[in-house]
Structure 1
């Protein structure tokens, strides 16, 4: 199963996998990895990948020839299922997240029964996204089933902060519009025939908008295009400025007490 998450400007494909159990024929295991290969190949390189699941294999406590995909902090002895997983990760330049952090045994063992304790559940991510995951460990006190333990992966994805665009275009000083000017503008627009016309709606709209901009520019004036703080606000005047300065002075005096 695959789901896509869009976080900020990042697209994350999350894949859930379940490998054939130990004891099944090699053909079933081969089909599993062929199907998983097809899913991963269908994901664009620009997208992040998180593969999580029960792979029914032991990758072993050390990297031993798989340093590029095994972080060196595994559990137990490697078996055939673990080697298949490591080969798959190497082919797609993935890294096994829960082998990248030194942990106590309780935080490595994902499967525990009265007769065995093993590590068979894993998270895999692109090697180039190694900086995204900050931790990966088992929560011993939480069970998903009777024998499987909860494996948690901590990811940190930065959201793109879009910078506010500040336009340098000259703008009409709409802040200076008063009821009296509104009536005067309305009379002039009526004389220009801004509201008259028929036919295409776009043509009528463009004509009205053009007339409004022309009259408003003449009556209200046009700014130079630079952001001028409070200057465009009708309420920002000398009286308000004086009160703001008095407030600052009072606060400074209070802080000195």
Structure 2
């Protein structure tokens, strides 16, 4: 979710994320990183961007090949999701702020339950805005009802905007708009399902796009990265075209069936799909 706030003459873009859990299909994971990349690309370079959320990945303590994005202060053992996260930050020129500041483990761990402790929540900013960040730490003793811990990023603006009235207005507006736009979710989350317009051609193109994406993320050579980036964009355009055609064919079939005896069933299915 992207929230853009205008405070005086400053524009701040705040992105809240929730990365795919371990065990989900590679297609779901690649779709997440693809969508996040598209979201970042629409933000002008002169705006301040803060990304915060649960990425479900471990980046480990040492930077190891990621010195420009990892400050060397992490927790846990790096896994595949953490590796992809670091490559994404490197490709998009972000810095992981809660790896920059030296902290005790208790102020790095973002999830703790019994004997299980991990660092899966992170805050990212543009590399050029790294100097604006004063601190990034896990706050203990907040009384939160879950095992998740509160991760706080402290930063300064070039203009003084810290008046209590402005902060209170921003907080109230964000909560109001988020609730009116997104609603409140209750109950268990739905299991990922294959879309009703999915076919073999779509699956083939999506897999090709995901493969190109992995090749791009794994590439470290600047010259080779440009070539792989073009191949990925080409695969991405092809995938979007196939998806659009598949949707067109599926809707056309639906509209033809609306005149049949099963009209009520198809109208309900169409409405349910659009609602979802």
Question: Cα offset for 1:144?
Answer: 4.3
Q: Does 1:74 align with 2:68?
A: no
Question: Cα offset for 1:102?
Answer: 0.1
Question: Cα offset for 1:147?
Answer: 1.0
SS in 1 for 2:58: coil
Could you tell me which residue of structure 2 aligns to residue 140 of structure 1?
Answer: 140
Matches within 5 A, 1:1-257: 1-142=1-142, 144-159=144-159
C-alpha spacing 1:104/1:17, structure 2 compared with 1 (3 Å): same
Question: Cα offset for 1:8?
Answer: 3.5
SS in 2 for 1:11: strand
Question: Cα offset for 1:152?
Answer: 0.4
**C-alpha distance in structure 1 between counterparts of 2:114 and 2:135, whole Å:** 28
Structure 2 unaligned segments of length 5 or more: list them.
162-276
Question: Cα offset for 1:143?
Answer: 5.1
After superposition, the CA RMSD in angstroms is 1.5
Where does structure 1 differ by over 6 angstroms across 4 or more consecutive aligned residues?
none
For normalisation by structure 2, the TM-score amounts to 0.56
For normalisation by structure 1, the TM-score amounts to 0.61
C-alpha spacing 1:76/1:39, structure 2 compared with 1 (3 Å): same
Question: Cα offset for 1:29?
Answer: 0.6
**C-alpha distance in structure 1 between counterparts of 2:160 and 2:120, whole Å:** 35
Question: Cα offset for 1:127?
Answer: 0.4
**C-alpha distance in structure 1 between counterparts of 2:145 and 2:157, whole Å:** 30
Structure 1 unaligned segments of length 5 or more: list them.
162-257
SS in 2 for 1:53: strand
Question: Cα offset for 1:26?
Answer: 1.2
**C-alpha distance in structure 2 between counterparts of 1:15 and 1:69, whole Å:** 18
**C-alpha distance in structure 1 between counterparts of 2:158 and 2:54, whole Å:** 29
Question: Cα offset for 1:7?
Answer: 2.8
C-alpha spacing 1:42/1:136, structure 2 compared with 1 (3 Å): same
**C-alpha distance in structure 1 between counterparts of 2:143 and 2:158, whole Å:** 31
Alignment check: 8 A CA contact 1:7 1:159 kept? no
* Greater Rg by CA: 1
Q: Deviations over 1:93-149 (max 9, x none)?
A: 000000000001110000001141000000000001011110000012125451100
**C-alpha distance in structure 2 between counterparts of 1:52 and 1:63, whole Å:** 20
Question: Cα offset for 1:160?
Answer: 7.2
**C-alpha distance in structure 1 between counterparts of 2:32 and 2:75, whole Å:** 24
Question: Cα offset for 1:60?
Answer: 0.6
**C-alpha distance in structure 1 between counterparts of 2:109 and 2:28, whole Å:** 26
C-alpha spacing 1:160/1:142, structure 2 compared with 1 (3 Å): closer
Could you tell me which residue of structure 2 aligns to residue 196 of structure 1?
Answer: none
C-alpha spacing 1:151/1:44, structure 2 compared with 1 (3 Å): same
